[in-house]
Structures are given as C-alpha cells and as structure tokens.
Structure 1
Amino acid sequence: MRLLRSFLLVLTLAVLSLPLTGQVWAEDAAVAAVNYEDWERTAARAEDELETKDPSDERLDELRGQLADWRGALSTAQTANAARIATVKEQIAALGPAPAEGETEAEELSARRKELADRLVVLQAPGIAAEEAYQRADGLIREIDRVMRERQADALLRLWPSPVNPANWPEAAVGFSDTLMRLWYETTEAWADPHARDRLVDNLPLIVLLLGVWAGLAIYARRWIDVYAERLQLRGGALRRRILAVVASLGLVVVPVLGVVALTSALRATGLLGEVGTRLNDALPVLGFVISFAAWLGLRAFPRQQEAGAMLPLPPERRAEGRFWSVVMGLTVAAEILRSRAMDPQEYSEATTAVMSLPILIVGGIALWRMGQVLRQARDGTAQPNYVLTLLSLIAQAIGVIGVGGPILAAIGYVAAANAIIFPAIISLALITVIFILQRLIADFWAMALIRRGSSEAEASTDGLVPVLAGFALTLLSLPVFALVWGARYSDLTELWTRFREGFQMGETRISPTDFLVFVLIFLAGYAVTRLIQGALRTTILPKTSMDRGGQTALVAGVGYVGIFLAALVAIRATGIDLSGLAIVAGALSVGIGFGLQNIVQNFVSGIILLVERPVSEGDWVEVGGVQGIVKSISVRSTKVQTFDRTMVIVPNADFVSQQVKNWTRFSLAGRLVVPVNVAYGTDTRLVEKILGEIAEAQPLAILNPPPAVAFTGFGPDALTFEIRVILRDVNFGSQVRTEINHQIIERFAVAGIEIPAAQSDVTLRNVDEIVRALSLVGGARPLAEMGGQADAAPAAAAVIREKDESG
C-alpha cells in the first residue's frame, strides 16, 4: 500500500512537470505549495510508531499536532487552481456536447476540446494529490484519537486496590509519613547549611514584612471588604446596588490571593525549601484562589441579605448552609491539588493513592449531596417555579447522585472514575454559578442603560430579550469549557471545530460556516439597499409625483419584494450553493406544501392583486364581510382595517378578492346621506317638506347639483315618515352632517309648532268580567259595580291584587 502511494505521488509530480501546450499559465509554477517529500516522511514515521511501538500520550499528542498542521495545509491545497478549473470547464461546455459514438465534429472543435481536456487534467492534478494526502492525514489523526480514547477509558475503568481494605492502610501510612519526612529532611538540611542561614538572616526583614502583608490581607482586609460590600447593597437603586456589590465583592478573591502570594514569597525568601517544599509553596497561590473563589461564589449565590426577586428564594438558614458547603467544595479541590503536588511525583503505589484520596472524595461527595438538597429546596419552596429553578432542580438531582455514587465507586476501587465525576461536578457547579452571575450583571447593565435613555424602571426589566440572549451566548461559549472539565482533550475540540469548518455536502457543493456567513452578509447588504431605496421612494421621489397614495404604496411594496428576491439570489450565487440537487425533493414536497399552505398562497396572490389592481388603497373607507372601517395597511397576506370604534381588524386578502367589497371613498369622496324624519298625523306635509329642504340646502358640504331632495315616504303606525336625501362632497363627514341636520330639525320644528310623535301603545281588556270573577274566587273581591264599571276595571283589579298581596 505504501509503495502504491509513493507511485501515485511520483506520477502526480511527473504530471505537474509536463509543459502546457498553448498559453503558459503563471499559476502552474506556484502549484507545489506543499512539500510532499516532507509529508511522506512525516506520515511514514507516524504509521511506523503506531504499528510497531507503544508511544506515550505525550508522543501521541505531538504526532497528532504535526499531522493536524499537515492536514490544514493539504486542505488548502485541494482548492489549487479552482478558478482556472472553473474557467476551463466553462470553455469545454461552450463547445457543446461531445459527439456520440460513431459521430464526428469539426477538426478545429475536436482539437480545441482535446487541448482543453488536457489542460483540465493538469490543473486538477494538484488538487487530486492534495486530496489523497489529506485523506491519509485525516485517517492517521482518527487512529491516534481512537488510541487515546481507548487509553482514557481503560484508565477510568481500572480497578485499584480498595481503600477500605485495612490491608492497604499500612502502605498508605508509609507513603504519607515518607512525604512528611522528605519535607522535614529538606528543611533540616537547608538549616544545617551556614550559607542558607546567612541568607535567612539577611532576608529576615523582607520575610517579616511579607508575613505582615499576608496577615493583614488575609484577616483585616477581607473583613473590611466584606463589610463594605454589604453596605453598598443598602445604598442607591436596586440595579446600582447589585452592580457595585458584585464589583466590590471581587476583592474577597483578589485580596486573599495577594496575601497568599506574599506568604509564598516569604517562604521562598527563607531559602529553606527543598524539592517537596518548593512544589507545595508554588501551589499555595492556586490553593488560595480556589478557596477564596469558592467562598465568593457561595456568597454571590447565597447572599446574607436577599433582595426581592432573588434567583434562589431560600430562608436565611439554608443560605448559610449553601455558603458553608461552597467553602467545603473549595477546600476539597484544594486538598486534592495539595495531595497530587506532594505525593504524585513520588510515584507511590495505587493502594497508597487510593487510601489518601478516599477521605477527600468522601468530603466532596457529602458536599455535593448537601448542596443538591439546598438547591432542590429553592424549587420546592416556590409556588410557581420558573425555568431556571426547574433546571437547577435537575442539576441538584444530578450532583446528588454523583455525591452518593462517587465515594461508593472509590470505596470499591474505581478511584479514577470517582475522581472523574466528583471534581468535574464541583467545577461544573462553580462554572454554572459564574454564568448566572455574569448573566445577571449584563442584565443589570442593560437595564441601567435603558434607564439612562429615558425608560422607567418598570420598562427597564432585567428579563428582556438582550439579557436572555446574553445568557444564551454565555452558555454556548461555556460548552467547550464544560467539555474540557469532563475529560475532553483539547485536540478533541480542535477536531470538532475542524469538522464544523469543513461543513456538509449538499448535492455537488460543500456548504461550510464560512459560506453561511457570506450568504448572511450579502443578503443583509442587499436587504439594507432595498430598504434604502424604499425609503427614498416613499419620502423623496413618489410624493413629488401625481401618483395617488395607493399606487405609491403598491410601488414601494413591489420594490421591496423584488429587492429581497434579488438579494437572496445574489447571495446564493456568491456562496456557490448548488440547489439542483434539491429539485427532486422540492418537486416531491410541492404537492404536500400546496395543500398545506393553500390558504397562505391564496392570500399572498390576493395581496399581489390588491397591490397591482388597487381596488382598495390605504385610507379608503371600506366594508367587507361585516367589517367597516379605514384601511391602514396592505401586506402580502392580510389587510389591516381600523374600525370606527378604534379597533384593528386583520382581514385576509382573499376576502377582498372573493367577496363583495363596498368602497365608500376609492373613486370619489362624494356620497349620499339619508336622514329619516317622523312627524305627527295632522301636520302640514307641505310645510314639513319646505323646512326640511331649507335645512338640507343650508349644509356647507351638500352638493347643489343635483340638489338635495325631500321624500314623503309613507304613513307609519304612529307618524308620517319623510327622508332628507343629500349628496355630500366628502362622505367621511357624514356623521357630523347628520348630527347638524337633526339639531336644526328640532329647532325649526319647535318654531313652526310641528310635533315629532313618540311611539305609544293602547291596551284594551276585553274579558274584565272573567278577571273579576277569578279574583272573587280568591276572596275579598268587590262586585263589578263597586269597581266603577268596565272602564275602571283594570285599575280596580290591580288594587284588589295589591290588597291580597299585602294581606299575605
């Protein structure tokens, strides 16, 4: 196989060295950007080590890095001569299809086709060679990743000597005492050296000063910062208090770490530290940071003074417990760092490491389990838990399981597996807390910015869109960190990013994130240009023309649709996306989409018809489907109509095309107004007609040609009916004109003594005797003669009924 690859490589180089016929291409001299001889040696060495040797993890990482560099160079080399290849292919296509078997073509065309085909082969040779080498490098990288993953899995599942077995305790005690004795012997040997004692005496003032700085920063400064941060929470507005409190509380991390650095410098200045002492001394700043940072996270997550709307609604005793277990987690991580720095370089046995790690793992498991209990109470104590509390409840359950299962695994002997779940769980919990703190800080800054711009505190909510998007972005950015915490290698992340950049295949085109970015940028640029053109047409150009408002709206909307379509087309063309492969799928889905979206398509087509034919325009007074109002806007799917009671109705465009539409103002603002009038019987009808005619002609908006008319329409049950029929120049003022006409009718009829009758009803009782007889059966009814006869029977009967009701 290796001989075959070498033969292909030599053949490719030979093809590259052939002179081109015709025009000399300048790019051919720069084709060999990759030194294939060096690549062959690197690939052969990697294959040899993977096949015949058992390289260490460090060596595998080194080989993988070299292969990854080569793969990147080969990936770039695959696109060599891409522009020239595309040009030659277009030239070959311009010559037309090749003749079928048994057919011939002109000699000039045949020679030109052969020349272009030879040129295409030469141009494609570097890309083919680079692709073959790329596949080889990619395969070697995959093999190395597989070997390293298998080693990692074997290490996690390896069964160590059980730390709970008393037989392993003496060996662990020997290892622990050996470490202490090493530290003691190093110190005593340094003290026995006169030169070391002289340096100690010389550096004694500096040592005392550094120790004083450490004591001051560790004891007093921390207390002052704590008190100052609590005071800030009582001043100013809520947003300002929270921001200042977070910034000030960072001193609880920085100041103790500076104090530990001073302590480390003081111990180093003594000159009494040996190998083990130096390792432990160098670890002190890390230990100080871990403990201080854990305490700070606990203080931010479980504050002493909790404000309204806190993320974790907990009682004071639970918050105090949360702060305590946060510090315990920090101490657990610090203890593991201290153990590994002191004992791992000595290469003690697995039994010693297991026994020494078990107490640390037990404390870490208890801290995780108790912290899970505290977080679950935050959700259980809320009547309506939100999404964040639900998510924290799931996290609490997970760390509770880890807190119980981790020490059990370590006690059985799976110490590496216990380490791989307990400490990542602690670090992940800290990282989640950091994300919540940063998201809340960004939300507070955003709310303050809105307040400075003039928004009220109620409008400047910290739960707006921007803070939510910021939290989402922080979560995405933290995913690689979570992966590293839980055992992923850096090379795994780089490999994932490489695969992501390579994209995916769509038809004959490979789509990469870069292509998506180019598509978005070009489309947004085209969209922005379209909006600028629409704005210029709407505000500058079209108002100076004689086109009506409806036509202007239709033209602006049409420009928008055409511009968006062209922007998408140009963006697809620029990214080189080949959509021909989706033609079959699109054809298969078109029927289903047609049935599912037929209403939307119908409304879309109707919207285009409305914008082109313009039977309805913005500002028209229309009536369609029982809805009457003013057209406010016309889009491709629906039309917004504002009714006269100031409500906005969304009417599908299909209703304007398929139903009967009454447009009061589209072609003319003139319209007829009809006002009915009733007068009492016996009124002089000629006088009424004259008065009504004068009132109609006196209206300023009335058109006098044709003149207003008064019609005597008939005889009603209670009155004589008339109608004033007048055509107004602007029907939009119909209600105002109707009101004025009614006012003048009242005034003129009062002067002329004309009565406007009110509706009345007469009730006649025909069976009065039967009613009285029925009342007498009840008892106490007086004779009909006493009631005053039939005329007064009804009132008398009513009186009798009232008497019976009052007597019970």
Structure 2
Amino acid sequence: MSRTILRALALMLALALALPAMAELSANDIKAFTKASQKVEEAVAKASASDATLSEMRAEMVKWRTTFTAEQDANADQIATVKSQIAALGPAPEDGATEDALIAKRRTELTEQLSKLQAPGITATEAASRADSIIRTIDKLVRERQADKLLRLSPSVANPVNWPAAASLMRWMGAWIYDETRWRFTQPVNYDELRTNAPLIIGLVLAALVLLARGRRWMMHATDWLLGKTAMRGRNLISGLVSLGQVVVPVLGANLLVIAVEQTSLFGPILTELFRDAPVFLFTVLMAWWLGSRIFPARPGVESALSLGEEGRAEGRIHAVSLGLAFAAHQLLLLWIAPHAEDFLGGASDLAADQAQAVAERADAALSVLQAPLQIFAAVGLFRMGQLLRRKITSNIDGEDGAFRRQLLRWLGTALLLIALAGPVLGVIGYVSAADALVWPAVASLGLFAAVATVQSFLAELYVTLARGQEARRDALLPVLGGFLIALASLPILALIWGARIEDLLELWTSFQNGIAVGGVRISPTSFITFAVVFGIGYALTRLLQGALKSTILPKTTLDKGGQNAITSGIGYVGLASAALVAISTAGIDLSSLAIVAGALSVGIGFGLQTIVQNFVSGIILLIERPISEGDWIEVGGYQGIVKNISVRSTVVETFDRTDVIVPNADLISGSVTNWTRGNKTGRLVVPVGVAYGSDTRKVEKILTEIAQAHPLVMMTPAPFALFMGFGADSMDFEIRAILSDVNFKLRVLSEMNHQIAERFAAEGVEIPFAQRDIWIRNPETLLSGAGEGAANAAPRADPPPASGLVAARPEPGEGIARLSDNDGREDGDEGDDGEGGGEAR
C-alpha cells in the first residue's frame, strides 16, 4: 500500500512539473509559427520564389494549420464545466443592483478561470486562420502562374525559322549519346566490370528477350484456352485477369533488360536514363492496346462496355493503339528530351546570361517544333474516336437504359471532336502549353474511362460468379452500386489529369473533413457517420422490439389484432423518434441555432404540408382510438373492403375485387365510415322475396322461417323471423331477417338462402311472380292508315319488314300514339319492358 501511495505522489509531482513545460512548449510553437509565417508572407509578396519553393512553404503552413486546428478544442471539458458553474450562480445583476459578496467573488474567480482556459483555444484559432490565409494566397499565386503558362506564346512550328533548332537538337542529342557511349567503351575498367557481371547479365538478357518476344503470345494463348473452357465458372473473370499478363510480362522483361544494361556500365547516364524510362513507355503502349482490346474485343459475341459491330471494334482497337503510341512519344519528349534540351544545344553553367537566354530560346523553339507533330497525330486519333462514338455506338445502344449512355457518349464524342480541332490549331499558332493542356489530358481521360469500364466489368463478372444463381445478373443493384463507387473514386484522378494539383485535392479533403456550416451548425463527416451509426443501432433495436412484441408477447394477451398492431406501430414511431434524438445528441449537432430558421419555415411548411400533417394526426388518432383496425370490413367513399394496413398518412383497404384503395386518414376521421366488424363479427341479414297474389301467406311465412332457422350461421338469439312487408305492384313482399354469427359470410348465406327458397317454393307450389305488361293502342285506325300510306310511298325501298311484333311508326301531329299500361290500368310514357306475351315497342 505504501509503495502505491509513493508511486501516485511521484506521478502527481511529474505532472505538476510537466505543466509549465507544456505551456512553455506551446509558447515556443507560437513563436516558431510567427517567424515561419512572416518569412513565407515576405516570399509570397515578392512572388520571386519558384514553384517548388512555394510548394515546400505551403506544406509547412499546412502542418502548422493542422496542429493549431487540433488545439482549437483544448480544455473543452474544463470550459464546459466552468460555464455550467457560472450558469449555476444565476444571471449577473443588472446595473445598479447589488449581489452577495461571496457570489460576486465566486463569479469573478470563475470568469477569470474561464478566460485562462479559453486563451489557448483562441490563440490556436487565430494562428490556424493566419496559416489558412497564407495557404490560400500561395494557391492563388500558383494558379496565376499556371494561367500565365497556358497563355504563353511559344515559337510557332508554322515559322520555318524554328525548324533548324529542332534539327540541331536531334543532331546534338545523337552526337552527345554517341560520344558518351564511345568514351565508356574505351575504358578498361568497364570491361572488367562487364566480365565480372557477365553471367548475371547474360541470364537477365536471355530472360528479358524471352519475356519480350514470347510473353505476350503465351498470355494470349492462356486467355483463349480459358475462354474455351465453357463449363468453368467465372471463366470471363479469370481470363480477363490472365489477359492483363499481356502487359505485365513484357514490362517485366523490359525491367530485366534495364537491370542488365545497368550492370554493364557501358552506357552513359543520359542513355541509361532512357533505358530506365523505356518500361514506362512500353507500359503505356501495351496498356492502351489492352484497354482497347477490352473495350473493343476482337472475339465475336463477347460482351463489351460499348455496343459495336466487328468493323467498329477493329477501328476502335486501331485508334486505341495509335493514341497509346502518341502518349508514349509525348512522355519520351517530356521526361527525357525536354530536361536535357539545353544541355544538348550547348547550355552550360559558365555561360553568360545572354548566351544562356539564347540557348533557352532555341530549346523552346525546338521543343515546340517537336511537339506539334505529336499533337497532330494524337488529335487525329481523338477525332476518329469521337466520330466512332457519335456515329456507330449511339446507333447500336437500344432500350430505355441505353438512352443515358447514348447521351453521355454523344457528349464525349462531341468534346473529343472539339479538342481534336482546337488543340493542333493552338499548337501551330504557338500556344503549345494550351494545346498540351487540351490534347494530352483528353487522351489520358479516355484511358481512365476505359480502365473504369474494365474494372466495372470485372466487378459485375465477380458478382455473377460469387452469386451462383440463375437470377444473378450483371446489371443487378450490387454491381451497379459498386461500379458507381468506382467511377466516383476515379474523379480525383480525372481532376489530376486535367491540371489539378495534389495540394488542391488535399485542401478539398480538409474542407470536407471540417464539414459544412448549415444555419450555424457545422456538419462534418465524423458527425454524420456517428449519427448514421447511432440511428442505425436505434432503428435495429426498435425493429427487434417490434418483432418480439408482434410475434411472441402480444399474441399471448387478450388484445385483438387491431390493438396489437396499434401498440406495435406506436412503439415503432416512439423508437424512431428516440433514435433520431439520441443520434443527434451523440453526434454533437446543436439544433438550437436552427430554431430561428425552423420558426421562419414553420409557417410555409404549415400551409404547404397542411394536408400531410392532417393525415398524420389522423393516423395517430386511428392508432389510439382504433375506430377501425386491421382486418375490419369497412365501407368508405363508396368502397367496401378489408383494412390491410394503417400507416401514418393513409390506410390501405383491399376491396373484394382484390384491388388496393389508398384512403387518406383524414377521410376516415372526418367522414362517415361503416365498420361491419367493429367490436364483433355479428350482423343482420335481410333476404327480400316476393310471391304471387293468391298464395297462402301463412305458409310462405312458415317456410321462410324454417329456412332461416336451419342455416348454421344464423344465430338463435335473437331468433330469426319472416315478415309480411306488404302488397307490391306485382307480388306480395316478404323478408327474412336474421342475425349472422359472422357477417363476413353475408353474401354466401344470402345465396344459400335464395337457393333453398327456390327449392322449397317449387316443392310447395308457391309461385314467384315476375312483372307483366300489356300494350294499349289508342286510335289504331290512324296508325294502320299511316303505316299503309308510308308503305305505299316507300314502295321502291327494299327494306326488310320487321320479323315480329308491332311497329309503331313516328306519328304526325294529330295522329295516334302508343302508350304502355300496367296491369292495373295506369298509363305512363316510358317504353314497355319485355314481358311474357307482350310485343316490343320501338
């Protein structure tokens, strides 16, 4: 125990001694930053520093900004504690008011302590703001230099005066390499080293030659063999990966050859540097060829990212290889010739300023002349590729899914055509940098698009292989989302291709990490991820609790199905709301600053979402009061059906036609609703029936009562009965009135009773009448005479006579008219119904 106490005292003493050191270190950091920032600000103000120097200064400021940003939240817990203590003292007294001395003293002490605790954070915030301002100034200066470089007018290739500079550069480059190599071959020490490393060099050269000469062909044969294995699962995926060896194996051979060349010591540094860059050039050409073969496959019937025929695919492969050759030549010029151009043309460190300037101008003219043919060659490939995208691919992609692809390909083809036309023109005029900024990024972008499409194809094939089901498709949701994420991840690479700096991307990433301010609330990726994780956990727990209640606990209670569903839905709403509140609190999102914005929007939201809010409140009332429940048979708005689901906004009613009717909850609360099964399933059934005049009414009543009592679904308490309702126009009317134990079978019981009534009435000789009508004709002589005259006047017509019945022609004024009369002698002007023995009136 004593040792433990001594160790604790020693630890406390060490911490006490370390606190002043930490404070002194923080002060030293501020001094060092102030000195560094002043130096950078002076260099930026003069604008004389090189791009490399500015990049180093910017990196230093980024480190300082990161350090101070991390220190902005220093003493956050202590500050929150002190603020809560000050708040516990109550508000400060107003002017002229007195306060207890102890409280005033304590308030002063806490205020001073709060100021001391906030001082490091305020200092760090100020320093971080200054560093950020310096970083933005450096970025602005670099962008201005990039713009000036793009707009710089170089010597034009159209001017023949500049051609000798290019010829001189090529001649002196060859002479320089020749002299350097010849001198190395004359040194005996190099031959000694060659003899020492001869076995290794021979082995490397032989392996490199084999890989370069036969490696690509071997991998092609392996790919064809794998594609021929039609029964092998994932053969397309495996063959695609194996086909990548057509690039890797030759490049590996080129690297072995470079190692062998370095072991000889017979070549100078310039030629050795060329050998070292050769694998990069070879990789560029082979990768362009491989991507072209993946996008424009040579094998017929193989799916590709673009829908093309055999002719279009062959043309696409040719253009891909040509663009790869052009890009490799541009890399050769940029990485090897340009850095040594002034040396080849006679530049030296001891030259005078005017001579060095003349050499630099000659080198610039030579590079401009050499770049122009490469730009034109690449522009031709871009132009032909743009035509291919616009003319052939857009006509071969069908369906709604291909509409978006057609539009993208049309835009891409148009952009390639414009770049192919504008790039060489700018280069010939003399804006070589601007031409390079258009042509070569376009070529690299095509390669990036092809690589993304190839990776997406591999991902889709991997999904189909792993799914192992007939329903697995390449256009399923999972591979489509994966392809979208791959395309999204390629955007930073695309930005770098088109001139963005890595510092710019890092700055965007820093801003993204810091978050965005919305109404005074800063939402960062960390807070968003925290919110999503906590809310997801709360949502999962809520659904788990709902499932347990619905399947295990509530079925064992006496609650009906509607009550169980109401409790489950209520717990779901409460759980989701609680999960959202806990997630917001855990993520540290302060919504108090959004109160003013929410208050301003509440009026507009209230008017715009009035119906939705009304339905929402009505849904809550339905779940609490439960005037209807799931499974009830209701009638609302002219529809009858079973309630299937009660949600927040609406209720789903399944009609007896098996159609779903979406009823707003407000209509169920404010309107009239008939619930046939509310509380219980019993309901009354009324069966009307008529018998002919002269029938024994007592006998009919007895028969109907027996039929009602005999049905198993008819309840005996209260007992069913038959009523003689009165004398109708055609029959004596009776009704069966019975209470059913389950009103859901009302129509079936009605049908069954009608069958039994028909059978019993036929057996007992009770007649069920039907309506009869007699036709009374007024002034038949006028109708007959009018019909005769009409027949005489219409003799030439060959219309067939009516088949049967009496036809009443349209009478003239004063002529007779046919009327219908019921059996009781009443007349009306309606057309007569077809009855037994009656004619058809027209």
Q: With structure 2 as the length reference, what TM-score do the two structures score? A: 0.84
Alignment correspondent of 1:654:
666
Deviations 1:683-731 (A, max 9, x none): 3332222222111101111111211111223344444332221101111
Distance change >3 Å, CA 164–CA 568, structure 1 → 2 = same
Measured in 1, the distance between the counterparts of 2:466 and 2:770 equals: 66
Give the Å deviation of 1:234.
6.1
Distance change >3 Å, CA 212–CA 393, structure 1 → 2 = farther
Give the Å deviation of 1:308.
8.5
Deviations 1:315-374 (A, max 9, x none): 221221111010111111111112233312223310011111111111111111111111
1:698 matched to 2:700? The reply is no
Distance change >3 Å, CA 412–CA 97, structure 1 → 2 = same
Q: Which amino acid in the other structure matches residue 519 of structure 1?
A: F
Q: Which amino acid in the other structure matches residue 403 of structure 1?
A: A
Alignment correspondent of 1:102:
96
Q: Which amino acid in the other structure matches residue 79 of structure 2?
A: I
SS in 1 for 2:628: coil
Distance change >3 Å, CA 793–CA 197, structure 1 → 2 = closer
Alignment correspondent of 1:395:
412
Alignment correspondent of 1:591:
603
Give the Å deviation of 1:84.
0.6
SS in 2 for 1:578: coil
Measured in 2, the distance between the counterparts of 1:149 and 1:268 equals: 40
Q: Which amino acid in the other structure matches residue 497 of structure 1?
A: W
Alignment correspondent of 1:312:
306
Gaps of 5+ in 1: 1-23, 782-791, 798-808
Measured in 2, the distance between the counterparts of 1:29 and 1:397 equals: 65
1:427 matched to 2:438? The reply is no
Measured in 1, the distance between the counterparts of 2:790 and 2:113 equals: 124
Give the Å deviation of 1:161.
0.6
Alignment correspondent of 1:411:
428
Give the Å deviation of 1:472.
2.6
Give the Å deviation of 1:764.
5.6
Deviations 1:574-622 (A, max 9, x none): 3333323322222222121111111001101101111111111111111
Measured in 2, the distance between the counterparts of 1:646 and 1:228 equals: 58
Measured in 1, the distance between the counterparts of 2:723 and 2:134 equals: 101
Alignment check: 8 A CA contact 1:280 1:341 kept: no
Measured in 1, the distance between the counterparts of 2:24 and 2:462 equals: 54
Alignment correspondent of 2:633:
621
Measured in 2, the distance between the counterparts of 1:367 and 1:690 equals: 101
SS in 1 for 2:490: helix
Give the Å deviation of 1:772.
4.8
Alignment correspondent of 1:493:
505
Give the Å deviation of 1:270.
4.3
Measured in 2, the distance between the counterparts of 1:53 and 1:198 equals: 53
Distance change >3 Å, CA 779–CA 193, structure 1 → 2 = same
Measured in 1, the distance between the counterparts of 2:808 and 2:483 equals: 84
What's the RMSD between the two structures over aligned residues?
2.9
Mean CA deviation greater in 307-316 or 549-558: 307-316
Alignment check: 8 A CA contact 1:616 1:663 kept: yes
1:437 matched to 2:451? The reply is no
Give the Å deviation of 1:198.
5.4
Deviations 1:516-571 (A, max 9, x none): 22222222222222222222222222222222222222222222222222222222
Alignment correspondent of 2:540:
528
Mean CA deviation greater in 404-413 or 32-41: 32-41
Alignment check: 8 A CA contact 1:507 1:579 kept: no
Measured in 2, the distance between the counterparts of 1:793 and 1:52 equals: 116
1:123 matched to 2:135? The reply is no
Mean CA deviation greater in 748-757 or 589-598: 748-757
Alignment correspondent of 1:743:
755
Distance change >3 Å, CA 409–CA 478, structure 1 → 2 = same
Measured in 2, the distance between the counterparts of 1:401 and 1:282 equals: 36
SS in 2 for 1:347: helix
Give the Å deviation of 1:386.
1.5
Measured in 2, the distance between the counterparts of 1:224 and 1:724 equals: 93
Residue from 331, 338, 343 that aligns with 2:332 = 338
Mean CA deviation greater in 183-192 or 560-569: 183-192
1:354 matched to 2:348? The reply is no
Distance change >3 Å, CA 417–CA 746, structure 1 → 2 = same
Measured in 1, the distance between the counterparts of 2:48 and 2:184 equals: 42
Give the Å deviation of 1:298.
0.9
Measured in 2, the distance between the counterparts of 1:637 and 1:122 equals: 54
Residue from 386, 400, 410 that aligns with 1:372 = 386
Gaps of 5+ in 2: 1-15, 343-362, 794-803, 810-842
Give the Å deviation of 1:182.
2.2
Map 1:23-34 onto structure 2 (within 5 A). 30=22, 34=26
Alignment correspondent of 2:575:
563
Deviations 1:650-706 (A, max 9, x none): 110001111111011111211011122233343333222222211110111111121
Measured in 2, the distance between the counterparts of 1:281 and 1:628 equals: 85
1:672 matched to 2:689? The reply is no
Residue from 141, 158, 178 that aligns with 1:147 = 141
Q: Which amino acid in the other structure matches residue 630 of structure 1?
A: I
Alignment correspondent of 2:276:
282
Alignment: residue pair count:
759
Give the Å deviation of 1:770.
4.9
Alignment check: 8 A CA contact 2:289 2:321 kept: yes
SS in 1 for 2:291: helix
Give the Å deviation of 1:440.
3.0
Give the Å deviation of 1:175.
0.4
Deviations 1:171-230 (A, max 9, x none): 110101111222222332333334434555666665565455445444444334335545
1:517 matched to 2:529? The reply is yes
Map 1:718-729 onto structure 2 (within 5 A). 718-729=730-741
Map 1:757-772 onto structure 2 (within 5 A). 757-759=769-771, 761-763=773-775, 769-770=781-782, 772=784
Q: Which amino acid in the other structure matches residue 298 of structure 2?
A: R
Distance change >3 Å, CA 508–CA 603, structure 1 → 2 = closer
1:574 matched to 2:586? The reply is yes
Percent identity of equivalent pairs? 48
